[in-house]
Amino acid sequence: MNKLTDYVLAIRPLGAPAGPEGIKTVDLVLGEGDDVGTRVLAGLRSSGLAAADFRSRVIFLAVDEPISLVQYAALCGFAGRRIDAYADGTVLEFSRLAPDGAAFADAGRPDGFLMWAQAGSSPAGGPPAEGGIPTVQVNPGSPDLVSPEAVTVIRYAARLRMVPPPTAREALAMFVLIAALRRRNDDRFPFLSTGNEPVPATKDDPAQGVDLEKIRREALRYRQELRGGHSGAEIVPAVPVSARNRRIAEANAVDIRSVLRRLGSSSDDSGLWHCPRPRNHSNGDHNPSMKVYGDNRTRCHRCDAEKVGPTRLVVSVLGVTPDEAVRFILDSDRVVDMRRVR
């Protein structure tokens, strides 16, 4: 089992114990907003956390408050995975759990469509099941955890509200189990009960608890914003192109076929050119070895390691500097006799 000191980064909400000495700690505070989800997401944005932080071993220092569960849900969304937590003096290694809850058998798909359901912990299970809302029990501390009948309700309910137990350790364990049981392509988070939900429950009633799945998705979108925005990049003024570089660019725009002709080369019926460096060929390049490409570059497969443009070709053939090659291309009508460069 891991120890708290095995982690590289600890994320600490208000009221949590200080992180152990020697590891980096980031405080997670609440931001501004009209509801708890908005305030938690605003706090995540102001924390300075980056996606790269979650490449290391990260642990969340939980507190015995329902809002701690909301913060944990946002961090899992931002990280793109479950993260470990520390609660009641114990490291909870959620990141190493099986990725889904498919191993838990259910009692079969329900006969009718189940819009709302509620899951709570023993013995009370939270608020009573009023208005026709089924309520099932989840027991994170029990060897059985959850019955097949409860798995059916948790897995197939369109919207599931979770009534957490009072301790952070049990609340986190219950949350991770429910999210895994509801998993499709990814963990599917429940609503979190505030204890004041009206009945009957309607489909999109915002008073039916805190939508932890919505918070997960918004935290994931924030991660994508950071990655797409290249945070930290700086736009600098364009550097003017020097006159010399403009001349080189102008020379490289000249049709390389005309440069080859001036260097004493010629082409055959297939479009291949004789290399203007016949001294490098055992037969004087009697069989042409140069090909001209559509990007105004050429290459001799014996003399050139890669395709070259007009300026580099003249440098190689005449043994001159780049500036001299540019003057040959732009300011001269000189034609080279290949016999003189053998």
139 contacts 122 by C-beta, under 8 angstroms: yes
Q: Report pLDDT for 238.
A: 73
Instruction: Dump pLDDT digits (tens) for 28-47.
Output: 999 998 899 999 999 999 99
Amino acid of residue 205:
D
Segment 194-221 shows an average pLDDT of: 83
Instruction: Dump pLDDT digits (tens) for 286-331.
Output: 888 899 999 999 999 889 888 999 999 999 999 999 999 999 999 9
pLDDT above 50: residue 232: yes
Proportion of the chain above pLDDT 90, given as a percent = 50
Minimal CA–CA distance to 73: which of 164, 139, 206? 164
pTM beyond cutoff 0.85: no
> Three-state SS string across the chain, please?
CCCHHHCCEEEEECCCCCCCCCCEEEEECCCCCCCHHHHHHHHHHHCCCCHHHHHCCEEEECCCCHHHHHHHHHHHHHHCCCCEEEECCEEECHHHCCCCCCCCCCCCCCCCCCCEEEEECCCCCCCCCCCCCCEEECCCCCCCCCCHHHHHHHHHCCEEEEECCCCHHHHHHHHHHHHHHCCCCCCCCCEECCCCCCCCCCCCCCCCCEEHHHHHHHHHHHHHHHHHHCCCCCCCCCCCCCHHHHHHHHHHCCCHHHHHHHCCCCECCCCCECCCCHHHCCCCCCCCCEEECCCCCEEECCCCCCCECHHHHHHHHHCCCHHHHHHHHHHCCCCCCHHHHC
Range in 212-221, 229-238, 243-252, 272-281 with the lowest mean pLDDT: 229-238
What is the overall mean pLDDT for the chain?
A: 86
**Predicted confidence band at 229 (pLDDT cuts at 50, 70, 90)?**
low
Instruction: Dump pLDDT digits (tens) for 73-108.
Output: 999 999 998 999 999 889 998 876 655 677 888 999
